[in-house]
A and B are shown apart, each in its own frame.
Chain A
């Protein structure tokens, strides 16, 4: 299990700024391996030492079924929750990570109609107390997602995919392993036969084995389940276990799990002996520390991206220790179909035409770290349609004005645009406002604090309050089925409780029919169908105005080797094959 050498030249590319990563066209997601100087090989002696993780973000959940934040999916999977399938690390020559078997013997067998998936669990995978991880443990773990009143925060893909009838309000007839209502329904949808687990899908799901990479589909031992109290009580079946307890807002320490058998694991190299996780910091202080690179901080990495204000210091102070990678997110603008102005097709078109994406690019850190886009789907996904910008990256206020005059509205058209308030977006939206105002809009900007932002958009009370809204979204796993339907399918999103993620109340029968068709397709056909829907949304219906894809900048200490960002799998430093010099 020796690490191969990192190809020569990587360091040079890095020194040049590593910017060509995002615009690699089509969908091939390249990544930017980072190495420090000549010491790029990691022989077996790489094992050992202490890796330190500096974090400015408090972990909300470690319970595998409740984890939905990319960082925690990545870290949870690499440290203590093995899943049936996972994404392997990025190869040394930068090829994107592949879907691989983890706790299962292969990436699954799907029936011809894509409605039944079968996996066989490997022998020799054990919990930290030495008991074997069984098929029943996986089945129990997945069942916990259905206990929506206790196991909150996690993704609901199990509820969405599995063949369990739903109530009229969209909730599942199975209420989870605590209430046990509808247990027989779940037992039919997920069955164990020895080491073989079988899933029955509600509708064809060719990408179900990708969903399984989320820790929400990980195993959980029934006798260790304390419901909500299990939130930070980590019980490991991976290479590390928690030493002592996890303290929210402070962190914890992970040590080796001696029950983990490297022979059963082709993904995790588990080099460091110990991993400390300090989440009591702020982004700004942790970046000052990483740039200063003193003492133990030389062994440190972070999952927080560099704040815009620190970027120039990163360039000057952390040369050779930083990585620029495409973020999994797309930032976009949602015209509100419930607003009087934006329900007008021409007004939406005018808004799209007048949008000055170059102002966004500059204000958010420059073209090395931000790329203008006109697609909702991230370039890292194979379904990325690369929809051309309607009027260049600066927009065309004159053309927009014509469209606005054709709308029948009286100029200047007053609009209220809202965004998640921070210093960067304040500047971004001041720039966007100039473009819109030049086209005949009279824009009022409303910045809403981050902790209330999405709550405000999703509240039915605010349905008609804003004419356009900023939003950001990233795919949960590399399939557009976690983007288009999540944002624009009115049937699954809009309810009496609000618009879900369809913040603009876009509702279109043809579009929804297109979603159903795309779901049924697989491979390149599915990619094409999702891409076409994306392009329709931004250029035909003007249901969204995609703005930019940002790039994340991460910095690591000088002693850290193999700090590679895995953009296919969540988009952070991959803990699978990271090591520290010691």
Chain B
């Protein structure tokens, strides 16, 4: 391939920061850009949902008795009662707007997923950094701890602990059930998520700490804190970002699975899991009820997954997709 910049020397080689390189790579990757836009859209929707509910633009909790009927109170009209007001139709039995419930469920899902990722990320980064730099016995113990937590069946733990711990949390916080369940899921999913981060960070640190600039800093007498925050961390943002976007969809899916099994967010607060759990009973009689929320959940998880993959490709200098 011809190297145009070298032809007449007039075009100077401008230095680009790693972020600029990444941005340029991302801009070229159409799939990832679409995923990014979708992810941003979902996040904005989730952030706006409480305000939209307060302004009564969406009504996840109001019944519409007139929109359901017949034996079994199924939605009146085609495709689960789709209309200009109810884009995804209405819920059998109540006539509640499914779009509103999906959006409200999205908020709960994303809040849980994001907060859990942050918990995982902070724990994982600290443990990975310490294990990588300290080495020796500390590294051995922390790595065994990582293995130990990684081998715990997370979903099973969530189910087994849910009732008791949520009760305790609810009593301790004096709150209602929904915030208590959310905090419970954030803590447990966050706790079981850190080993992923810790392993990657530790690996990165192990290879970074042998590099010349770290040795230079050390020989200049930089203290441990400076090495952590000024020398190591800036090089760790890339893997942290990639794994954050990859763990996010996992968390969203786990939250939905818990809701489906009935141990997550409790009615009347909507969540993907409880909506899907209810809708499978209507698979024959009202398939739209299953399809719309199901497809939405699929798109949310897919967009974050594609975004994570795309980011990894863009951030990894060795990746070459041309």
Q: A residues within 8 Å of B by Cβ?
A: 17, 284, 307-315, 358-359, 362-366, 368-369, 421, 423-424, 426-427, 429-431, 433-434, 444-447, 553
**Given A430-B267, A444-B176, A315 and B70 touching (CB < 8 A)?**
yes
Q: Are A315 and B73 in contact (CB under 8 A)?
A: no
Determine how close the nearest CB of chain B comes to the CB of A354; give it in whole angstroms.
14
**Given A365-B72, A444-B176, A434 and B63 touching (CB < 8 A)?**
yes
Query: Can you name 22 A-B residue pairings with CB atoms under 8 Å?
Result: A17-B71, A284-B281, A307-B281, A313-B285, A314-B71, A315-B72, A363-B93, A363-B94, A365-B71, A365-B72, A366-B70, A368-B70, A421-B262, A423-B277, A424-B93, A426-B274, A427-B94, A430-B61, A430-B268, A444-B177, A446-B177, A447-B266
The residue from B71, B92, B267, B284 contacting A368, defined by CB atoms under 8 A apart: B71
Q: Which of B93, B94, B281, B286 has most chain A Cβ within 10 Å?
A: B93
Residues on B with C-beta less than 8 A from A365 are 71-73, 93
**Given A359-B94, A362-B95, A444-B177, A312 and B71 touching (CB < 8 A)?**
yes
Residues on B with C-beta less than 8 A from A430 are 61, 63, 94, 96, 267-268
Q: Which of B262, B285, B286 has most chain A Cβ within 10 Å?
A: B285
Q: Which of A309, A313, A421, A445 has most chain B Cβ within 10 Å?
A: A309
Q: Are A445 and B268 in contact (CB under 8 A)?
A: yes
The residue from A307, A315, A359 contacting B65, defined by CB atoms under 8 A apart: A359
Bound together, the chains give a CA A365 to CA B262 distance in angstroms of: 22
Chain A at the B interface: SS class: helix
Interface residues as binary, B175-214 with A (CB distance below 8 Å gives 1, 0 otherwise): 0110000000000000000000000000000000000000
Determine how close the nearest CB of chain A comes to the CB of B238; give it in whole angstroms.
44
The residue from A362, A364, A444 contacting B63, defined by CB atoms under 8 A apart: A362
Q: Are A313 and B284 in contact (CB under 8 A)?
A: yes
Residues on A with C-beta less than 8 A from B69 are 366
Q: For the complex, is B79 an interface residue (Cβ under 8 Å from A)?
A: no
Residues on A with C-beta less than 8 A from B277 are 423
Residues on A with C-beta less than 8 A from B63 are 359, 362, 430-431, 434
Q: Are A312 and B267 in contact (CB under 8 A)?
A: no
Q: Are A315 and B281 in contact (CB under 8 A)?
A: no
The residue from B96, B267, B274 contacting A445, defined by CB atoms under 8 A apart: B267
Residues on B with C-beta less than 8 A from A423 are 277-278, 281
Interface residues as binary, B255-272 with A (CB distance below 8 Å gives 1, 0 otherwise): 000000010001110000
Q: Are A426 and B267 in contact (CB under 8 A)?
A: yes
Q: Name which residue of chain A comes closest to B274, CB basis.
A: A426
**Given A307-B281, A423-B277, A423-B278, A434 and B61 touching (CB < 8 A)?**
yes
Q: For the complex, is B83 an interface residue (Cβ under 8 Å from A)?
A: no
Q: For the complex, is B247 an interface residue (Cβ under 8 Å from A)?
A: no
Bound together, the chains give a CA A394 to CA B123 distance in angstroms of: 52
Q: For the complex, is B282 an interface residue (Cβ under 8 Å from A)?
A: yes
Residues on A with C-beta less than 8 A from B61 are 430, 434
Bound together, the chains give a CA A445 to CA B62 distance in angstroms of: 16
Bound together, the chains give a CA A430 to CA B94 distance in angstroms of: 9
Bound together, the chains give a CA A363 to CA B95 distance in angstroms of: 9
Residues on A with C-beta less than 8 A from B274 are 426
Q: Are B94 and A312 in contact (CB under 8 A)?
A: no
**Given A284-B281, A312-B285, A423-B277, A429 and B267 touching (CB < 8 A)?**
yes
Bound together, the chains give a CA A366 to CA B286 distance in angstroms of: 16
**Given A284-B281, A429-B267, A431-B63, A308 and B176 touching (CB < 8 A)?**
no
Bound together, the chains give a CA A531 to CA B286 distance in angstroms of: 42
Determine how close the nearest CB of chain A comes to the CB of B58; give it in whole angstroms.
15
Residues on B with C-beta less than 8 A from A307 are 281
Bound together, the chains give a CA A362 to CA B75 distance in angstroms of: 11
Residues on B with C-beta less than 8 A from A446 are 177
Q: For the complex, is B74 an interface residue (Cβ under 8 Å from A)?
A: yes
Q: For the complex, is B104 an interface residue (Cβ under 8 Å from A)?
A: no
Those of B43-95 within 8 Å (CB) of chain A: 61-63, 65, 68-74, 91-95
Q: Are A362 and B65 in contact (CB under 8 A)?
A: yes
Q: Are B73 and A366 in contact (CB under 8 A)?
A: yes
Q: Beyond the given A309-B92, A313-B285, A364-B73, please list 16 additional residue pairs across the A-B interface where CB-CB is below 8 A.
A: A308-B72, A309-B72, A309-B285, A312-B285, A314-B71, A315-B72, A362-B93, A363-B73, A366-B68, A366-B69, A366-B70, A427-B91, A429-B268, A430-B96, A434-B61, A446-B177
Bound together, the chains give a CA A284 to CA B283 distance in angstroms of: 12
Q: Name which residue of chain B comes closest to A317, CB basis.
A: B284
The 4 closest A-B pairs by CB, nearest first: A311-B72, A309-B281, A430-B268, A426-B267
Bound together, the chains give a CA A311 to CA B69 distance in angstroms of: 12
Bound together, the chains give a CA A358 to CA B73 distance in angstroms of: 12
Interface residues as binary, B93-112 with A (CB distance below 8 Å gives 1, 0 otherwise): 11110000000000000000
Q: Name which residue of chain B comes closest to A446, CB basis.
A: B177
Determine how close the nearest CB of chain A comes to the CB of B56; give it in whole angstroms.
13
Q: Are B94 and A362 in contact (CB under 8 A)?
A: yes
Bound together, the chains give a CA A212 to CA B299 distance in angstroms of: 63
The residue from B65, B262, B285, B286 contacting A358, defined by CB atoms under 8 A apart: B65
Q: Name which residue of chain B comes closest to A369, CB basis.
A: B71
Bound together, the chains give a CA A309 to CA B71 distance in angstroms of: 10
Bound together, the chains give a CA A312 to CA B282 distance in angstroms of: 9
Bound together, the chains give a CA A362 to CA B282 distance in angstroms of: 16
Residues on B with C-beta less than 8 A from A431 are 63, 94
Q: Are A312 and B93 in contact (CB under 8 A)?
A: no
Residues on A with C-beta less than 8 A from B71 are 17, 311-312, 314-315, 365-366, 368-369, 553
**Given A284-B281, A309-B282, A309-B285, A362 and B268 touching (CB < 8 A)?**
no
Bound together, the chains give a CA A431 to CA B282 distance in angstroms of: 20
**Given A366-B69, A431-B94, A434-B63, A312 and B281 touching (CB < 8 A)?**
no
Those of B159-177 within 8 Å (CB) of chain A: 176-177
Residues on A with C-beta less than 8 A from B96 are 430
The residue from B72, B91, B177, B266 contacting A312, defined by CB atoms under 8 A apart: B72
Determine how close the nearest CB of chain A comes to the CB of B192; give it in whole angstroms.
25
Determine how close the nearest CB of chain A comes to the CB of B269; give it in whole angstroms.
9
Bound together, the chains give a CA A431 to CA B73 distance in angstroms of: 14
Residues on B with C-beta less than 8 A from A313 are 284-285
Determine how close the nearest CB of chain B comes to the CB of A50; give it in whole angstroms.
29
Bound together, the chains give a CA A429 to CA B63 distance in angstroms of: 11
Bound together, the chains give a CA A520 to CA B277 distance in angstroms of: 52
Residues on A with C-beta less than 8 A from B278 are 423, 426
Bound together, the chains give a CA A325 to CA B52 distance in angstroms of: 44
Q: Are B74 and A308 in contact (CB under 8 A)?
A: no
Q: Are A312 and B65 in contact (CB under 8 A)?
A: no
Q: Name which residue of chain A comes closest to B74, CB basis.
A: A312
Interface residues as binary, B275-293 with A (CB distance below 8 Å gives 1, 0 otherwise): 0011001101110000000
Bound together, the chains give a CA A237 to CA B274 distance in angstroms of: 50
Determine how close the nearest CB of chain A comes to the CB of B263; give it in whole angstroms.
11
Q: Name which residue of chain A comes closest to B178, CB basis.
A: A444
Determine how close the nearest CB of chain A comes to the CB of B173; give it in whole angstroms.
13
The residue from A427, A434, A445 contacting B93, defined by CB atoms under 8 A apart: A427
Residues on A with C-beta less than 8 A from B281 are 284, 307, 309, 423
Residues on A with C-beta less than 8 A from B72 are 308-312, 315, 365-366
Residues on B with C-beta less than 8 A from A310 are 72
Determine how close the nearest CB of chain A comes to the CB of B104; give it in whole angstroms.
12
Bound together, the chains give a CA A445 to CA B91 distance in angstroms of: 20
Residues on B with C-beta less than 8 A from A427 are 91, 93-94, 267
Q: Which of B61, B74, B267, B284 has most chain A Cβ within 10 Å?
A: B267
Q: Name which residue of chain A comes closest to B282, CB basis.
A: A309
Bound together, the chains give a CA A434 to CA B96 distance in angstroms of: 12
Determine how close the nearest CB of chain B comes to the CB of A459; give it in whole angstroms.
15
Bound together, the chains give a CA A368 to CA B92 distance in angstroms of: 15
Residues on A with C-beta less than 8 A from B92 are 309
Bound together, the chains give a CA A314 to CA B74 distance in angstroms of: 13
Bound together, the chains give a CA A295 to CA B238 distance in angstroms of: 63
Interface residues as binary, B130-162 with A (CB distance below 8 Å gives 1, 0 otherwise): 000000000000000000000000000000000
Bound together, the chains give a CA A369 to CA B70 distance in angstroms of: 10
Q: Are B93 and A308 in contact (CB under 8 A)?
A: yes
Q: Are A433 and B70 in contact (CB under 8 A)?
A: no
